[in-house]
Amino acid sequence: MGKKRVIQKSEEELLEEREKVEAKVKKEIKKPSKKIGEGRVYIMSSYNNTIITITDSQGNVLAWTSAGNIGFKGTKKGTPFAASKVAEAAGQVLKKLGIEKIAIFVKGVGSGRESAIRSLAARELEIISIKDITPIPHNGCRPPKVRRV
């Protein structure tokens, strides 16, 4: 097989990637008519994707982003790294909207839950609360009947 080479991106390539994400964020967001100080961030993390929705305190959607929207494809969308990149993009949107205080609501069982929260916390936002709203079945579906052999 031989030695495997790890291709590392140069600083210029990393800066270009960051500029692409920032340009996409700038293109999608319009300036709000009034300043919003407080908002909610909904993180929906499944095995296949991570979706972050930003709402005002009443629940009206202001912006959203997902791993697929940023540019991840296939199984990479469900990774913690993709979730942290989605949270970074959401953090940029929050700064542009002028939201400083956020309440985080986490839903789902994916691997991107923790990394998305950590990424948002690193963005110098005041986190009011973190709540898990994952639906839990109470008794659930009826089990299949016993197999007769």
Is the pLDDT at 117 greater than 90, yes or no? yes
CATH 3.30.420.40 fits 34-132, yes or no: no
Is the pLDDT at 32 greater than 70, yes or no? no
pLDDT tens sequence across 119-149: 999 998 999 999 999 999 898 889 899 999 8
Whole-model pTM: value is 0.76
Q: Are 66 and 92 in contact (CB under 8 A)?
A: no
pLDDT tens sequence across 55-97: 999 999 999 999 999 999 999 999 999 999 999 999 999 999 9
Q: What is the DSSP string of 92-125?
A: HHHHHHT--EEEEEEES--TTHHHHHHHHHTTT-
Is the pLDDT at 49 greater than 70, yes or no? yes
